[in-house]
Amino acid sequence: MSHGSVCVATYRCYDDKADFNKKALGIAVGLTVGSWTDLPEARKAEMEKHLGKVVSVTVHEPDGALPGERYADLRIAYPDVNFSRDIPALLVTVFGKLSMDGRIKLIDLEFSASFASAFPGPKFGIAGVRELLGVHDRPLLMSIFKSVIGHDLEGLREQFYKQALGGVDLIKDDEILFENPLTPLEKRVETCMAAARLAERETGQKLLYAVNLTGPTSQLAANAKRAIAAGANALLFNVLAYGYDALHMLSSDPDINVPIAAHPSLAGAFYPSPHYGIAAPLLLGKLMRLAGADLVLFPSPYGSVVMPKEENLAVQSALIDPALPVRASMPVPSAGIHPGLVPLILRDFGKEVVVNAGGGIHGHPMGTAAGGQAFRQAIAAAEQGLSLPEAAKQPGNEALQTAIDLWGFKE
Ligand SMILES: CSCCC(=O)C(=O)COP(=O)(O)O
């Protein structure tokens, strides 16, 4: 939703006794003009346009509330005139010092049309990524490089080729693989893209390789362009370690013309507490999308790094909500995913999703390629309305049978 020339922040504030109306007013004034009642009338007239306003205060105080359960949702409008049109300025305005002031969590931000217009958003988004892959009718499948530190180019090539043979649509670097003498950026891209071309001859399938974009912030754009010149057709980026503005810089650069996948590393430092930090739908949804992520990874509700389902679906919703005037980002619920979870993922996320797995592919008893095939068979089964055990019995689906024998399944 857009609000004239103000951005609106929603906070959840826990306090057993506070006067929440007073608290909200204190924030609205304190984070904008500083003090109001002490100002002379003439100065008030000048400062009015800078003054934050309380939009609403909704107190949640159930009968018999136990200590620690009373909270309020405070909505405060901040005039655009107070900050430049970049995400750091907005975040510092609405939650800079306030993030350290007691039990308060930033739940949501609604951008003014003017603020949002400074952000082109994802260059490709869901539709653009599908267009590059030539896949429009089914959920996508991504595989994650695993245990590649200390491996040379040949080791990487082999692992890449096996993943590609499994029929995956995207392969992403491990986010902890940085510039290193064994697999330097350009050589890594050349090696993996050569393996992608080789595999395409077998599978007939296009593939995006999201190479990890790393290094000092001052060199990110140059590194991205070196990777693209070497043949990279996608980038992986650890957004929270660098800041949203670094993603915005990359995504709005006309020469960085490949999709960017945002990795959620560090997100656990921000969203899990009910009392502090930044809510996941804003952290991993709205802000990632506004800053230009084409695909966004986040912990799924099913796997090893669990995020509650309601919160998960709110992240998805923020990534695709048509109210934000930029392209939709592709949701990538991740971590601990195996083929037996595919029916749940597709039930909850629908078709516009990337099923993403590392261990669930490489850990397949018949090998990495079979790991990818098992996922593709599970996706096909869900699309045909078959249960996994039914599909696994079909000729040619031994990879799926082996996967559900090992990991089980949920429907
Ligand atoms: C916490 S979301 C990021 C997922 C990720 O990068 C990853 O490596 C997951 O690997 P897994 O073996 O759990 O599929």
From ligand 1's centre to the CA of 197, what distance in Å? Answer: 25
Which pTM does this prediction carry?
0.96
From ligand 1's centre to the CA of 336, what distance in Å? Answer: 7
For the chain, the C-alpha Rg in angstroms (whole number) is 23
Whole-angstrom distance, CA of residue 359 vs CA of residue 145: 9
Contact 337, 131 (CB under 8 A): no
From ligand 1's centre to the CA of 384, what distance in Å? Answer: 27
Q: Is the CB of 173 under 6 A from ligand 1?
A: no
Nearest atom of ligand 1 to the alpha carbon of 335? 13
- Give the containing element (helix H, strand E) for 226: helix 220-229
ipTM above 0.95, yes or no: yes
HSE value, Cβ hemisphere, 13 Å, CA-based, for 246: 21
Annotated catalytic residue 146:
no
Closest by Cα among 343, 336, 328, 339 to 386? 343
For a pocket test of ligand 1, which of 173, 316, 334 has the largest count of ligand atoms closer than 8 A to its C-beta?
Answer: 334
Read out DSSP for 266-314? TGGGTSS-SSSEE-HIIIIIIHHHHHT-SEEEEE-SSSSS---HHHHHH
Contact 111, 7 (CB under 8 A): yes
Which residue, judged by its Cα, is nearest atom 7 of ligand 1?
A: 335
Whole-angstrom distance, CA of residue 182 vs CA of residue 359: 23
- Cα–Cα distances (Å) from 312 to 318, 347, 353, in that order, read 10, 13, 13
Nearest atom of ligand 1 to the alpha carbon of 356? 14
Closest by Cα among 82, 72, 95, 105 to 6? 82
From ligand 1's centre to the CA of 143, what distance in Å? Answer: 10
- Could you tell me which residues are beta bridge partners of residue 53? 77
Residue 377 in tokens: 């068979």
Q: Is the CB of 339 under 6 A from ligand 1?
A: no
Q: What does the pLDDT profile of the chain (411 residues) look like in tens digits? A: 455 699 999 999 999 999 999 999 999 999 999 877 777 887 888 889 999 999 999 999 888 888 999 999 999 999 999 999 999 999 999 999 999 999 999 999 999 999 999 999 999 999 999 999 999 999 999 999 988 899 999 999 999 999 999 999 999 999 999 999 999 999 999 999 999 999 999 999 999 999 999 999 999 999 999 999 999 999 999 999 999 999 999 999 999 999 999 999 999 999 999 999 999 999 999 999 999 999 999 999 887 767 899 999 999 999 999 999 999 999 999 999 999 999 999 999 999 999 999 999 999 999 999 999 999 999 999 999 999 999 999 999 999 999 999 999 998
Q: Is the CB of 120 under 6 A from ligand 1?
A: no
- Cα–Cα distances (Å) from 263 to 86, 233, 252, 284, 299, in that order, read 21, 17, 18, 9, 10
| Strand ranges (E), 15-70 | 53-60
CB-based contacts of 278, cutoff 8 Å, min separation 6: 95, 105, 106, 270, 271
From ligand 1's centre to the CA of 103, what distance in Å? Answer: 30
Closest by Cα among 283, 206, 278, 220 to 249? 220
Per-residue pLDDT at 3: 56
Q: Spot the catalytic one: 97, 162, 206, 351.
A: 97
